[in-house]
Chains A and B, each alone.
Chain A
């Protein structure tokens, strides 16, 4: 039981490049989330998917797009990376009781 798996773990991009962060969960959870964490700060919600086929904006959605590919997978895309998007990105899913969120180990992204 792997829980929430994120790929890649590290990435360096040049300004203007695009990339997709992948997230998969094997716990049959309906809801999935993408957060970002800047140095010394708490996590901020970028986008979430309450159930398969739906996505909604969170607190800081600008510059990102998401796709809920199926119940297991929720990807985050940066179309044109900017240095302000340098951050650690966490994917999470939540159990059926809407109680305990499970987080991946994070993707450390640097945009130069």
Chain B
């Protein structure tokens, strides 16, 4: 699986959009980008994933650059409950769900 690079920490004001970047310059053509988050040492929670098109669900939006070497997770209206560690993971869809976690980005949402 391709390696990812994320900033160690970010801050965001409550109600504003949180934009979390991820670099995955060695991604291969059949690898997907996944985002998970971990709130206060709970089990990680799936957020969203994509291959090359932008994706949106009820939690977030995922923007993948045209060359697929980087992506951005967008939480459109961050709340205090979004304070968590966010992990960007690249994997093959056929890798039986094996996830390689880096250290992620600690997002702190301030009042």
- List the interface of chain A (C-beta within 8 A of B): 4, 31, 33, 35, 40-45, 48, 50, 58-59, 88, 90, 92, 94, 98-106
CB of B93 within 8 Å of the partner chain: yes
The reply to whether B93 and A106 form a contact with Cβ atoms under 8 Å apart is no
Assembled-state Cα–Cα distance A105/B96 (Å): 21
- Closest residue of chain B to A58 (Cβ to Cβ) is B98
User: Which of B97, B98, B103 neighbours the largest number of chain A CB atoms within 10 Å of its CB?
Assistant: B97
Chain A residue at smallest Cβ distance from B104: A42
Contacts A40-B103, A98-B93; A45 near B98 (Cβ below 8 A): yes
> What is the predominant secondary structure among interface residues of chain A facing chain B?
strand
Q: Are A92 and B96 CB-contacts (below 8 A) given A40-B103, A42-B104, A43-B101? A: no
Q: In whole angstroms, how far apart are the Cα atoms of A98 and B46 in the complex? A: 12
Q: Which of B1-54 contact A (CB under 8 A)?
A: 36, 41-46, 49
B46, A100: Cβ atoms under 8 Å? yes
Instruction: Report the Cα distance A81→B88, complex, angstroms.
Output: 32
Number of cross-chain contacts by CB at 8 Å: 61
Q: Which residues of B contact A42 (CB under 8 A)?
A: 87, 101-104
Determine if A105 and B42 form an interchain contact, defined as CB atoms under 8 angstroms apart. yes
B98 touches A106 (CB 8 A): no
B99 within 8 A of A: yes
Additional A-B contact list (14), CB under 8 Å, known A45-B100, A98-B94, A105-B42: A4-B43, A31-B97, A33-B98, A42-B103, A43-B99, A48-B97, A59-B100, A92-B97, A94-B97, A98-B97, A101-B44, A102-B46, A103-B45, A106-B42
Tell me which residues across on chain A come within 8 A of B46, comparing CB atoms.
99-102
- Residues from chain A with Cβ under 8 Å of B102 in the complex: 42
Q: Which of B42, B97, B100 is within 8 Å of A101, CB to CB?
A: B97
Question: For residue B44, which residues in chain A have a CB less than 8 angstroms away from its CB?
Answer: 43, 90, 92, 101, 103
A103 to B100, CA, bound (A): 14
Q: Verify B41–A106 contact, CB threshold 8 A.
A: yes
Can you identify 6 A-B contacts, CB atoms within 8 angstroms?
A: A33-B97, A42-B103, A45-B98, A98-B94, A101-B46, A102-B46
